[in-house]
């Protein structure tokens, strides 16, 4: 495993322990029945009951277990062994049947067998991936023909806007096309600003929408839905305000920019061919 991956695993191992106890995640409320999925993914995947669902980069499993509560047969994957341990513990406490696998995403075919009706990933996942084209091949490897892929993610525009920009001055602070590795140093978890991190160095990568689309298309997926949203699932910028629906948005009357996007492949290739009068050729 590359040095950058080892350092990122150590970073996320520490975050998992902090995040589990944070009010941001509110694990006690989740145990009592609260669910963590947002309306974007719930509307995109309205019926998961009885379907197999692979959740890539699942952290410590709260979204995975929310899908499980809705009836999906869930397998969650994360490279953090500490996060996977916590996810398994939550799964047992809630008496659910989700499975959790600790694996680097690029090595997943060596650690997991089978294909899935749904492959899902969301919110803060792409920046931890050095190779989007390798990632897209993993998605396709595990997706059944006619299955559904869904990603809901922070918009790349979030990563080029200056950290101190305001609604009156949407200043660009970073290059959109610079795909080089970023070495970052953060003292606190995004979920808790009271516990100082010991492993505070980590590495991230920025990706354009072009690279995200191209990687999925080259892997053989058929993109049937692309949407952009003027809200974020956390307070990415100080000027964002939280609404009653828990989304963070620009103040009413101010300039709106895309903060979140979703891409879905919900195209059943075989049915489409049949609709056109073609019978799929079955290869043995």
Instruction: Please report the pLDDT score of residue 4 as a whole number.
Output: 72
Two tokens at 224?
Answer: 């049937």
Where in the chain are the domains?
A: 3-275
Tell me if 182 sits within 8 A of 159, measured CB to CB. no
Contacts of 118 (CB under 8 A, 6+ apart): 45, 48, 51, 52, 53, 54, 72, 147, 148, 149, 150
Q: Is domain 3-275 given the CATH code 3.40.190.10 in the classification?
A: no
What is the spatial distance between Cα 279 and Cα 284, in angstroms, rounded to a whole number? 15
Exposure string over 48-72, b if 16+ CB within 10 A, otherwise e: beebbbbbbbbbbbbbbbbbbbbeb
Write down the pLDDT at residue 3: 59
Pair type for strands 52-56 and 99-102: unpaired
Give the DSSP per-residue string, 74-122: EEEEES-HHHHHHHHHHHHHTT---EEEE--GGGGGGT--S-EEEEEEE
One digit per residue, the tens of pLDDT, for the chain of length 284 reads 565 789 999 999 999 999 999 999 999 999 999 999 999 999 999 999 999 999 999 999 999 999 999 999 999 999 999 999 999 999 999 999 999 999 999 999 999 999 999 999 999 999 999 999 999 999 999 999 999 999 999 999 988 888 778 777 778 888 898 888 999 998 889 888 888 899 889 999 999 999 999 999 999 999 999 999 999 998 888 899 999 999 999 999 888 889 999 999 975 444 333 343 433 333 33
| pLDDT of res. 279 | 38
pLDDT at 253: 87
């Amino acid at each position: 495993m590359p040095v950058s991956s080892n350092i990122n695993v150590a970073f996320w191992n520490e975050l998992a322990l902090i995040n589990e106890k944070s009010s941001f995640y509110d694990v006690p409320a989740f145990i009592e029945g609260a669910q963590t999925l947002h309306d974007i993914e719930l509307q995109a995947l309205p019926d998961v009951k009885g379907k197999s669902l692979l959740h890539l980069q699942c952290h410590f499993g709260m979204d995975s277990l929310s899908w499980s509560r809705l009836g999906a047969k869930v397998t969650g994957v994360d490279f953090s062994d500490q996060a996977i341990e916590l996810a398994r513990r939550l799964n047992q406490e809630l008496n659910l049947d989700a499975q959790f696998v600790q694996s680097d995403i690029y090595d997943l075919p060596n650690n997991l067998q089978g294909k899935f009706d749904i492959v899902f990933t969301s919110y803060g996942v792409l920046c931890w991936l050095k190779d989007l084209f390798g990632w897209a091949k993993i998605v396709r490897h595990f997706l059944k023909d006619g299955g559904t892929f869904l990603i809901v993610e922070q918009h790349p525009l979030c990563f080029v806007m200056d950290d101190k920009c305001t609604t009156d001055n949407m200043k660009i602070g970073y290059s959109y096309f610079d795909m080089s590795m970023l070495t970052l140093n953060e003292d606190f978890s995004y979920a808790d600003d009271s516990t100082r991190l010991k492993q505070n160095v980590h590495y991230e990568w920025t990706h354009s929408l072009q690279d995200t689309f191209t990687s999925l298309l080259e892997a053989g997926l058929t993109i049937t839905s692309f949407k952009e949203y003027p809200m974020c699932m956390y307070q990415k910028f100080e000027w964002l305000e939280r609404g009653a629906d828990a989304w963070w948005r620009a103040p009413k009357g101010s300039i709106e920019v895309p903060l979140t996007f979703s891409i879905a492949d919900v195209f059943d290739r075989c049915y489409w061919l049949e609709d056109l009068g073609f019978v799929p050729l079955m290869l043995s």
